[in-house]
Each structure stands twice: as C-alpha cells, then as structure tokens.
Structure 1
Amino acid sequence: MNHLKERPLVVQSNFKVLLYTSSPYFEEVRDQLSYFLELQKSPNVFYTYALNEISLWNGFSHGWTAQRIKALFTKFSRYGVSEKVIEFIEKQYYYQNMFSIIKYTSEELELIAREKKAFANLDLHRKTLHYLRQDETSGRYFIPMHARGIFKSEMIHLGYPVNDQVGFEDGQPLEINYNHSQYPLRGYQDQAVKSFVNKTKDAIIAGAGIILLPCGSGKTIVGIAIMAELGMSTLIITPNVISLRQWRKEIIEKTNIRDEEIGEYSGEVKEIRSITLTTYQILTTRREREAEFHHLNLFNRKSWGFIVYDEIHMLPAKVFRFITSVQAKRRLGLTATLVREDGREKEVFSLIGPKKFDYSWKELEKLNFIARVKCFEVKVTMPPDLENNYFSFQYATNKFRMASENPYKFVITQKLVKLFSRFQILIIGQYLTQLEEISKMLKAPLLVGKTNYTTRQRIYQEFNDKKIRVLVVSKIANFAVDLPNAEVAIQLSGTFGSRQEEAQRLGRIIRPKSGVANNAYFFTLTTLYSREEFLAQNRKGFLMAQGYTYTNLLEFDLSKDILVEELIGETSNTTQTEETT
C-alpha cells in the first residue's frame, strides 16, 4: 500500500470514521469495521461510522483488542490517527471487565476489581449505585443477589460493563433431541450454536449472549439446536402469535418434543409447560394504564433454565426491568440487527449479553443460502397541489407523512407490478388509507393488524401457493412472516428513518429462490426533495453496512426499455426455472 490515496480510512478526532468506497481496500476494511464501529451514513462516496462505547464493547467481546484496532487504523488511515481517539479506545479496553461479580453467599454477590484503585471511582457514584454496600471491617463490596441485573445496568451507564461470573441456574431438565440426520445444520448455524454453548470453556461464563443472522437464514433452527444442547425447560418470547406458532411447528418437526409438551401463553390460551411460547405483546398487556403487568410473572412461574428472546431488537422497554430479575437464567437473543431506534443497546448488552456470533449477509448470499437482493430507491415527484401544501407546513412530522402518502407513488407501484408481471410481489406500507387505496387499484388482498389469524394464514398460504401474485401488507409483515416465494418488495412508506424496519422488510424477500438466478428485488419509494427522502438515508444505513447498494432511479427511468432488461432480463428466476424444466 504505497499510495496514501489508496488508503480508505479517515479517522477523525470527533470519533467519526470515514471509509471511502473508491479504495481497492474498501470491502476488506468494511468487513472488519462492522465488528467495532456503528455505521451512521452510507452515501456513494464514503461511509460514515461512529466509534462509541457499545460498538467497542461488542468488538472486544468478539476478540478484538485495543492494539488490533489501532493496528488496523494505522495501516489503512490516510492521515494518521489522533491521540484522542487512541486514548478512547485504550480507555474502553481498560474498562472492559474492570469489574466482575462473583457469588459470595446464597443471598449476596461480591464485586471484585482488576485493580483496587478502581473502587475509588465507584465511591464517587454511590448515589447512583443503589444496591452497592461496602463492608466496614473488610472493605469489600457486596450486592444483594436480587439486584444482580439492576447493578449491571447501573454500572454500564457509568461506562463499566461488568463481567458476570455468578453462573446460572439449570432449571428443570428436559430431554430434547435435535434430528441432525434429517435436518443437518449448515456450517454457519453449527458455528453459531458452538459460540453459545462452548464446551471448551468454563460453563460458568457460557450461556448468555446474542446471535445475529440475516432474516431467512434459520435463526429459529439455531435456537432449537441450542435448546437441545442445554436440555432445560425453556421460555421462548416471540414478536407475535404467528411467530409463536412457527416456533412450535419447527420444534415439533425437528426434535423429539411432542405437541402436548409445548405450552402457548397468548391472548387465547394460558398454558405453561416444559417449553412455553409467549409474545412480547401479551407480557406487556395490562387491564388499565396504571395497573401492573401481571403477565410478566410468567418469568417466575416455572423453574426455567433457558430463556430465548426472539427478535431481541424488538424487546419492549417495559420488559427491561423484569429481565434484571432473571439474570440467573441462561438467555439467548436472536436478531438480524442490534439496531434499536430507542438507543437502549447498552441495556441489551448488559442484561442479555454481548454478541456471540454474527455472519455477513453478503457471505450467505455468495453461498446461495439467501437470495441476491437488488435494492432500488425510486425518487417520486410531488403533484403541484401537494408540493404547495408541503412547503406551507412548519412541522417535520406533518411533512414526512404528506411525502410518504404522495399519490404519485400509486402510479409507480402499478408500473412496477406490471414490470414484474411473473413475480410474487409484496407491497408494504405504514398508512392504512394508502394501503387500502393501492389494494383497491390492484385488486390485491390487504392484511393489516386487525385481520384475524385464520384469515392471515389462509392468504399467506395462497400467496405461497402462487394463487395470489400481489399481496398488500401493513407493518405486521415487518417480522415473523414466512413467505419464501416472495421475490419483489415495494415499500410505499415506513417509520421515519428506521434502519431496523428497512432491514426487516428486505428480509421478507431474502429467502433463497428456486432456479439458477436466486434474485430478489427491493424497491423503496421516496418523495423527491422531501423529509422522507432525507430520512431514507438513515433507513438504508444498516443494509449498506452489510454490503447492499441502492440504485437511485427517477420515476421516468421505469419507462426505459434498457432498464427493464437490466432489472429482469435473463436473470429472472422465473425465466431460469422455465428453461430448466
């Protein structure tokens, strides 16, 4: 690397890191930065990352050291790295596991430090650390057993991720055998299981953390395989009833567990069995606004040995304080992205655990385990009357919704549906009136929150059977919807700049496709020169970090024959399938 201009990094003193896409080392460096930096912006010229506490803590948990990060920056930075940045990295590495908690008695934990002088810093925050006490005789520090999670949460907000060495309760044993002969794990799935149940390490520190895998890559299977390795009564918390029943189906299909051994704790039934499935929604349901969340006592209704938090990025804030009381349970978070729009990643890190395993979306794509998705942002102009109203509004929220419901999007959607006339198409949006309108225009079924479970399942099945070609869905399709045949997603509108939602919606079409091409297409429609277009840059952030690129199109581009040929041409899944039959 002789020329400085070939180096892709600019490490700024404000803890921003720029990664230039034109560098021949772009991909190599991008894949490494994802471990310990947080992607914030991703325009064409360079990516902008943030270097912060939580990103570094996850990097350290993944085996990165301060020295290794500094070496990477030094090797690939154009202008060197400021001492301020180096000091910050070293400081966070120093703080990582500075404090540990160990079991002292059945009622108390002891706090120990790598260096005794570290306790002096804690003494400055005694008002914040409500449960920490110092023994007057020995000078040692203790925490009540019941405050284990609360203390870790308090400490992480002071910048100290605590190394929890207390261990776990085994819970009631459960004989569960995964059918490896009929459903063998893929290589990366086996790695994920071993990263969580690492039998070569001391079991006292195994069994708490997060596994990140793309939508459609078999996170549920990984969770079930870990259940079989642990062999303990298990509580599984899912986003909704549809996801809950998908878990039930997979467990019965892939293990020796019978249907009657699985309990469903939902709005319809309240069963508690050796394996119990519930939803975040039922756990946070209460009779009145000020009433207690009485369903949260499910955490303590049985001697669980293992708790699975499916789609951990959706964990409601209301549940966090109850998670603090179940730190003695082994716990697994499953997700495609750790991005939380409420900024509570620190609580997830301290109460669920660090990243145990993740796998590049693009690497899975290369292996054909997920579809090759082509992403497009179609920029739509405003009708003159809407444009006049738009610029007369003062509030950003009003402007965002006006742009999101731009009626010209209906014209573009109809063009795309015609363009992909042989494909299975999902149309996803945020606003019901908008979805109702496009549903009528296309004479396509519409599924929304109030659609009952039976109707949803029937329509989903008809779509999977290709009896329905176009399906319109609200944000209920953001997660836990199994539509393996979906090949095209058209996003009419979304939740502001939500990176999490963008990733989940792309995930609806990411399952591998039949045929040679294995292609899928994701279109997001944004109104040109609007608040929506501005926030779309943030929405794309997570997917851009995973290696996806968006092709920008103007609405008139969709009328060009050359574009049509480029979009579907000879790479069509349908065409390839027909040629091989």
Structure 2
Amino acid sequence: MSIHPERPLIIQSDRSMFVEVQNPMYDQVREKITLFAELVKSPEYIHTYRMTPLSLWNAAASGITAEQILESLHQYSKFQVPSHIETEIREYISRFGLLSFEKINGRLVCKTKDPEILKEIMAYRSLKNYFLEEIDHFTVVIDESARGVLKQELIKLGYPVQDLAGYQQGEHLPIALLPQTLSGRPFQLRDYQKQAIDSFYASGSIYGGSGVLVLPCGSGKTIIGIGIMAEIKSETLILTTNTTSVRQWIREILDKTSLTKEQVGEYSGNLKEVKPVTVATYQILTHRSSGQSEFTHMGLFQQRNWGLIIYDEVHLLPAPVFRFTANIQAKRRVGLTATLVREDLKEEEVFSLIGPKKYDVPWLQMENEGWIAEALCTEIRLPLSKEWKEEYLIAPKRQRYRIASTNPLKIEGLKKILNKHQGDSILIIGQYLDQLENIARELQVPFITGKVKQDEREVIYQRFKNGEIKILVVSKVANFAIDLPDAKVAIQVSGTFGSRQEEAQRLGRILRPKQEGNQAYFYTLVSDQTIDQEYAMKRQLFLIEQGYQYKIEEHDLL
C-alpha cells in the first residue's frame, strides 16, 4: 500500500476525514471536500469533516459525480481510500434520481431504475395508500396530493426523489428588470447572480423550478429572488423573517422592477395586504391564538394563484410552514440562504420540500472578487474575576453559560476595541438583554430589541446608515435581514450556545462592500477556559468551513 506523507487528508472507515490545517495543500483540499462533506470539528491543527448521505445527495443534485469525489479523495489522501468507502460513495450518489416523480398523460407517477426498490417501498404499510395503480414494474401512479409527503417519507428511507413532475404556471404577471434604479443609478445583474438564477430556472424546464441557492450575506440574495421573478413572470409569494425584511424586499422590488405600489403588498403584524406580489413574515404565518388552534394566516398559500414562492433565510423556515409546503409541491419554490445549516437538524426537510442545493458560491471566492468585504475574524479571550469564577464553578451547566457570557470584564474588552475603531460604524450584538442594556447605558448609545416598535427601529437604522449614529447595540433581531451597508465592525459579546447559523448571520451584517477600503472586522468576546469558549468554537464551524480563520487574542484585564 502506497503512503503519501506530504498529503493533508486521512479518510476514516466511518466516512469522516481528518485534514491537516498547516499543510500547504490545505486550502486546495478544503475547497474540494466542502462540495460533498460537512465540517464537524475545527481545533487548531486538525479539522474533521464527514460525508453524510445528505451532503452526498446535495453534491449529486449539483451535478457532482461519484468519480469526481473519489478523484479528489485519491488526490489528497495520505493512505489508500478504504474500498468500502468508495462503494458507499457510489451507492449514495447513485440513489439521487433512482426514484423520480414525473407526469405521464396528466397523472403523477413514481418511476424507478430498479424495480426491486419500487416493490420495497410499496410494501411499507404507511405508504401503501399513496400508490394508486402500477403501470409496469418501473412505474406506479401516485396520489397527486401526496407529492410532498412521499418525498419526505422516501428521503427518510434513504431514497431522495428527483422531482421532474413540473409546475403550475400561476397567474401571469409581467415583470421586467429596470436598466436603472428609481434614483437613476445603472442596474444590472452580476455574473454570479445570473448563474444562480439560471441554475434555479433551468430555462423553465422540469429540471429547474425548485431548490436552494446558497450565497454569502451581502451578495444580493434579494436581487437574485427578484431576477427569478422576472424570469417566471407570475404572481409571487415571498416569505421572510421580520417586518424590516418585508419592507426591504418591497423597496428593492419597486426600485428595480417594473412593478408598481399597487401590485406589491405587505402581509405582516401591521398590514394584511394580498396583492399580485405579497411579502409576508414567517411569524404571521405561524400565528395562532393557542397551541391547539388552527394557524390563522396559513390560508395565504391558497389566497392567490401563486406561480412562485420565495423562502428567504430558508434555514430559519419554521416547522409548521414545512407542513403547508408539502401540500404545494406543484408551485415553483426557491430557498435563499447564506448557510444550509439548521440547528433543528431539519436539512432533509429543506431538501425534500423546497428542493436540493442548486447553487453555492464560497464566501472567500466572493471576497476575492470584491463582491463582499474582506473580513478579519478575531476571538478575544478574557478572564473571569475571582468572585465571578467562584460563582461560575458552583453553578449548574446551563447557568454557567449565562455567567460566562455576561462576564463584566467584557465591557472593558469592548472599550478597547472601540478605542481601536474610533469613527467606524460599529454593531454590538448579543444574546442577553440585561447585558446589552448595561452596555448601551455605559456607552450612551441606542439599543434595539424586539420590543422596539418597527417604525422606531427603522428611524434608528436610517440614522445609522446616514452616519448620525456610529455605535448601535442590537439584540438577536439583528441576526438576519437588516440592511446596514456601512457597518464596518461587529462585536459579538454573547451568542446562542453553539449556533453556526447565527455566527454566519452576524458576520454577514458587515460584509457589504465598503466605499472606502473593503475591510470589515468581526470580534467575538469570550470568557477564557469556560463553556463560553467551547460554544464559540462550535459557532465558528461554518465560517471556518468557508475558509475564514479566527485570530486568537488573550487579554488579561485583572
């Protein structure tokens, strides 16, 4: 067996992989394996990746073959790739498309390349009622209304469905992109935005029409959504995270398309407009008067003949919306996100109900091309005072995290960073409201929480954009979907345990290109040698997978 000690990759029998960070080939191998594997751990010298069924199916849906994956593994592996790993990769990749949904003579059918698999799945008692008539050993008619449910069930059995059954056109709506914005600035799609749109739309064929587009914060995912609307030209329902985001979508649509105010509606806690293009919040859709009541506003999915549904920040899609999405599989559906990571582990639901990943561009590639700001990430480790440490050590585990996160010395560390960035636009972001309130009071700067009324928030955001306010303290409401283009520095004083998606979203707040220099700074303050530090490492996983490196600084403030 040949051994190549100069290579950076070791492949384990459980489909996990170790990558040497200090190896000169590290960047090359990371770029290749992130196409079909997920980062699991990222200590200083060795990173651990794992190939999962879903990571391999997403690769297959993107057009990556088993041979291309194996070529990468052979190219960078120190040792021979275990033969059973090669077999498993080929097996998992081949499963995508082994079952497909298609339309034949107006009927929805499930087709297979292997009659034994069809026989196997039809034997499941829980699935029997969905199969209506066997046409031949390769084809069976299925219940049209079960299109989504069957996809959910089959992926759990290890058979991801390739849905080629096509889509309803929806009510026609002429939509054109404008050559210039309302303010007179030239407007056109960037090359990668066109590529993302083309990969989803696929010239209107059955191979397009459902899927997820993964791009960094600040890369213009809203513009991509608008570009898709202009291709499909039908009434559209857009679902997003909060009222701020709803209004941003509406502003962008009116600024860059031929649509008028009469054609675009807001459906939120404040307004209930249903127009040819309607932008709604996830929160309003999942509202109900009690835990046992019906969802008050889910009827929005059927209120018009939508031809397209856009799920903004699809990684945050609430579980009840999945259930309704299962019933509308004949509608074109696109998910927009910076990360496919879901902390509730429902990535399979996104794959089966919204669609597989259709486009993914590495964050550092966008940075190198100047489309997003260059970000320097720094983790600053601060000690606990003697009294604080004594309280930390005797506290229960969950309480320990709050104690370490709200370490009073973080305010001193914060002030050092602020002195370094005087004059810059700075966001201070955290998890605990009392901690943030203390910081805002100490610095005498505005503080935005979920309790601040929407109109008041927008006034403060606008003053920040205009440069009237240089420092803004924000709670979790700023994790996503706020447009603060000139924010240059983000300082994270506390976070949601090990949330990788939150880390990505918070960095994303400062990634829009800068007018002067294209540099952004992302700081995380953690309490040294505590659970706060452990969770910080977990939060950083997604960004490290994208190629970002965290500089570690230790500040002794005692």
2:187 counterpart of 1:186: no
Partners of 1:134 and 1:263 in 2: CA distance: 41
Answer whether contact 1:129 1:155 (CA < 8 A) is retained: no
Per-residue CA shift, 1:18-61, capped at 9, x if unaligned?
11122222111211111111111222212211110110011111
Pairwise CA distance, 1:324: 0.3
User: Given residue 174 of structure 2, which amino acid in structure 1 is its aligned partner?
Assistant: E
Answer whether contact 1:131 1:147 (CA < 8 A) is retained: no
Equivalences for residues 423-572 of structure 1 within 5 A:
423-515=424-516, 517-556=517-556
Question: Structure 2: any 5+ residue segments left out of the alignment?
Answer: 181-185
Pairwise CA distance, 1:138: 5.9
The answer for the alignment partner of 1:133 in structure 2 is 131
Partners of 1:459 and 1:137 in 2: CA distance: 63
Point out the more displaced range, 533-542 or 18-27. 18-27
The answer for the alignment partner of 2:75 in structure 1 is 75
3-state SS of 1:6 partner: coil
Partners of 1:180 and 1:215 in 2: CA distance: 24
3-state SS of 1:295 partner: coil
Go from structure 1 to structure 2 and tell me whether the alpha carbon gap of 1:326 and 1:136 turns closer, same or farther (over 3 Å shift): closer
3-state SS of 1:325 partner: coil
Per-residue CA shift, 1:215-274, capped at 9, x if unaligned?
111110111011001101100001011000000000011011011111111112211111
Partners of 1:453 and 1:134 in 2: CA distance: 51
Pairwise CA distance, 1:141: 2.9
The answer for the alignment partner of 1:240 in structure 2 is 242
Partners of 1:138 and 1:32 in 2: CA distance: 41
Pairwise CA distance, 1:369: 1.3
TM-score (norm 1): 0.92
Match of 1:337 among 332, 336, 339: 339
Partners of 1:428 and 1:383 in 2: CA distance: 23
Deviating runs (4+, > 4 A) in structure 1? Answer: 136-140
Go from structure 1 to structure 2 and tell me whether the alpha carbon gap of 1:78 and 1:301 turns closer, same or farther (over 3 Å shift): same
Per-residue CA shift, 1:59-86, capped at 9, x if unaligned?
1111111111111111110012112322
The answer for the alignment partner of 1:102 in structure 2 is 102
Answer whether contact 2:200 2:208 (CA < 8 A) is retained: yes
Pairwise CA distance, 1:341: 0.5
Go from structure 1 to structure 2 and tell me whether the alpha carbon gap of 1:144 and 1:78 turns closer, same or farther (over 3 Å shift): same
Answer whether contact 1:263 1:272 (CA < 8 A) is retained: yes
3-state SS of 1:509 partner: coil
Partners of 2:112 and 2:134 in 1: CA distance: 18
Pairwise CA distance, 1:133: 2.6
User: Given residue 429 of structure 1, which amino acid in structure 2 is its aligned partner?
Assistant: G
Partners of 1:123 and 1:322 in 2: CA distance: 25
The answer for the alignment partner of 1:356 in structure 2 is 358
3-state SS of 1:493 partner: coil
Per-residue CA shift, 1:102-158, capped at 9, x if unaligned?
22565x52222101122233245x123254336479665332101100000000011
Equivalences for residues 88-167 of structure 1 within 5 A:
88-104=88-104, 109-124=108-123, 126-129=124-127, 131-133=129-131, 135=133, 141-167=140-166
Partners of 2:445 and 2:328 in 1: CA distance: 46
Instruction: Say what the alpha-carbon RMSD is for the aligned residues.
Output: 1.7
Per-residue CA shift, 1:335-386, capped at 9, x if unaligned?
1000000000001001111111111111111122111110000111111112
Per-residue CA shift, 1:386-421, capped at 9, x if unaligned?
211211123x21111111111111111111112211
Answer whether contact 1:35 1:62 (CA < 8 A) is retained: no
Partners of 2:307 and 2:285 in 1: CA distance: 19
3-state SS of 2:202 partner: coil
3-state SS of 1:433 partner: helix
TM-score (norm 2): 0.96
Match of 1:266 among 268, 281, 291: 268
The answer for the alignment partner of 2:183 in structure 1 is none
Go from structure 1 to structure 2 and tell me whether the alpha carbon gap of 1:7 and 1:366 turns closer, same or farther (over 3 Å shift): same
The answer for the alignment partner of 1:300 in structure 2 is 302
3-state SS of 2:391 partner: helix
Partners of 2:355 and 2:402 in 1: CA distance: 37
3-state SS of 1:225 partner: helix
Partners of 1:384 and 1:131 in 2: CA distance: 65
Go from structure 1 to structure 2 and tell me whether the alpha carbon gap of 1:180 and 1:42 turns closer, same or farther (over 3 Å shift): farther
3-state SS of 1:117 partner: helix
Answer whether contact 1:128 1:154 (CA < 8 A) is retained: no
State, as a whole percentage, how many aligned pairs show the same letter: 43
Point out the more displaced range, 50-59 or 190-199. 190-199
Answer whether contact 1:4 1:78 (CA < 8 A) is retained: yes
Answer whether contact 1:96 1:160 (CA < 8 A) is retained: yes
Q: How many residues align?
A: 551
Partners of 1:345 and 1:78 in 2: CA distance: 32
Partners of 1:130 and 1:384 in 2: CA distance: 65
Answer whether contact 1:447 1:472 (CA < 8 A) is retained: yes
Per-residue CA shift, 1:487-541, capped at 9, x if unaligned?
11110101000000000000111111122x3111100011111111111111001
Equivalences for residues 34-49 of structure 1 within 5 A:
34-49=34-49
User: Given residue 243 of structure 1, which amino acid in structure 2 is its aligned partner?
Assistant: S
Go from structure 1 to structure 2 and tell me whether the alpha carbon gap of 1:448 and 1:34 turns closer, same or farther (over 3 Å shift): same
User: Given residue 279 of structure 2, which amino acid in structure 1 is its aligned partner?
Assistant: L
3-state SS of 1:191 partner: helix
Per-residue CA shift, 1:415-460, capped at 9, x if unaligned?
1112211211110000110000001110111000010111111111
Partners of 1:464 and 1:23 in 2: CA distance: 42
Answer whether contact 2:134 2:141 (CA < 8 A) is retained: no
Equivalences for residues 389-428 of structure 1 within 5 A:
389-394=391-396, 396-428=397-429
Question: Structure 1: any 5+ residue segments left out of the alignment?
Answer: 560-581
Partners of 1:533 and 1:540 in 2: CA distance: 11
Equivalences for residues 282-301 of structure 1 within 5 A:
282-301=284-303
The answer for the alignment partner of 1:11 in structure 2 is 11
3-state SS of 2:538 partner: helix
The answer for the alignment partner of 1:375 in structure 2 is 377
